[in-house]
């Protein structure tokens, strides 16, 4: 049966979300954040090895935030890493497609620095990431998820790639791990690093950043990544434990 790989866009005219016509609330002077401080991230739940058919897979869920899923397969072609990043149509109420351009490129570049592709000269890796729910900072989470899936598939890497996002409101306050509303009204930065090696593997920054704010935001993101790193290592180890066969009767 032929597979339709084109995305169905929906009817050309007449179908517009009522949200577009709703009166937007006046942008407040300060970005009010409830429940957590400016440099606190939301809690994250990570699982590796979910898909039985894929060579490797991972799922990342942020408490009250985005949900991302990734799968890795071996293709039939030549030595290359193919990355595919998609947002599900139901992932968020507005399309926000303008903001998402360049996400797949950031994903590719972040992973290329970490994966030892020279060890697989004649193999093709297909990586597919699906953002099921977008509640702010889904892109760095997607990159983290992809790195986990690659590690779960047993692919040689220099280090895990961990991502974090920060935003800067009009007042100049820098917030780590922004929600969707915070992302919309401020300047955004997505940073991915290899924590053990302390190397930046991907960086994308949009909006207005004055003075030394980009440097501050980068430092904040790096701290956030370092805090997330042990959690990722734990999840990999626990999924590896499940794969290890029980000791046989002859082991003494």
Partner 1 sequence: MASVVLSEAEKVYILHGVQDDLRTDGRGCEDYRVIEVETDVVSNTTGSARVKIGHTDVLVGVKAEMGTPKLDRPGEGYVEFFVDCSANATPEFEGRGGEELGTEISNMLYKIFDNQSSVDLESLCILPREHCWVLYIDVLLLECGGNLFDTITICIKAALFNTRIPKVNVLEDDEGAKEIELSDDPYDCMRLNVEGVPCIVTLNKIGHRHVVDATLQEEACSLASVLVAVNMKGTLTCMRKMGKGSLDPESIFEMIGTGKRVAKSLHVSLQSVLNQEESMGKKRQKIGFLR
Answer for which of 66, 201, 235, 239 binds partner 1 (CB under 8 A) is 201
- Measured CA to CA, the distance from residue 117 to residue 107 in angstroms comes to 15
Residue number with CB closer to partner 1 (226 or 240): 226
Total residues contacting partner 1 by CB under 8 A comes to: 37
| CB of residue 107 to partner 1, shortest distance in Å | 13
**What 3-state DSSP class applies to 164?**
strand
Site string for partner 1, 38-77 (x = CB under 8 A): ----------------------------------------
Answer for which of 15, 52, 98, 252 binds partner 1 (CB under 8 A) is 98
Among 179, 149, 163, CA closest to 42 = 179
Q: Footprint of partner 1 on residues 16-35 (CB under 8 A)? A: 16, 20-21
Burial (CB count within 10 angstroms: exposed 0-12, middle 13-18, buried 19+), residue 147: buried
Residue number with CB closer to partner 1 (61 or 134): 134
Question: Exposure pattern of 98-129 as b/e (b: 16+ CB <10 Å)?
Answer: eebeebbebbbbbbebbbebeebeebebbbbb
Q: Footprint of partner 1 on residues 103-132 (CB under 8 A)? A: 105, 109, 112-114
Residue number with CB closer to partner 1 (130 or 203): 203
Site string for partner 1, 131-170 (x = CB under 8 A): ----------------------------------------
Q: In what order do the strands lie in the sheet with 44-48?
A: 44-48, 56-62, 67-75, 124-133, 80-87
Among 60, 61, 99, 59, CA closest to 204 = 99
């Amino acid at each position: 049966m032929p597979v339709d790989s084109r995305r169905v866009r929906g009817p050309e005219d007449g179908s517009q979300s009522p949200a577009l016509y709703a009166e937007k609330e006046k942008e407040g002077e300060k970005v009010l954040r409830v429940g957590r401080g400016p440099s606190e991230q939301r809690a994250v739940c990570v699982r590796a090895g979910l898909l039985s058919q894929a060579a490797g897979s991972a799922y990342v869920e942020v408490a009250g935030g985005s949900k991302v899923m990734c799968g890795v397969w071996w293709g039939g072609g030549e030595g290359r890493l193919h990355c595919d990043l998609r947002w599900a149509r139901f992932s968020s109420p507005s399309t926000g497609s303008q903001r998402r351009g360049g996400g797949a490129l950031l994903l590719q570049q972040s992973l290329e620095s970490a994966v030892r592709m020279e060890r697989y000269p004649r193999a093709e890796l297909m990586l597919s990431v699906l953002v099921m729910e977008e509640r702010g900072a889904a892109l760095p989470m997607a990159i983290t998820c992809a790195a986990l899936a690659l590690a779960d598939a047993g692919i040689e890497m220099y280090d895990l790639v961990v991502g974090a996002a920060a935003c800067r409101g009009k007042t100049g306050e820098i917030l780590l791990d922004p929600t969707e509303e915070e992302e919309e009204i401020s300047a955004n930065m997505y940073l991915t690093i290899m924590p053990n090696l302390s190397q930046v593997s991907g960086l994308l920054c949009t909006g207005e950043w004055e003075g030394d704010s980009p440097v501050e935001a980068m430092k904040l993101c790096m701290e956030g990544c370092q805090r997330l790193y042990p959690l990722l290592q734990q999840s990999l180890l626990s999924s590896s434990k499940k794969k290890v066969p029980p000791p046989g009767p002859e082991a003494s």
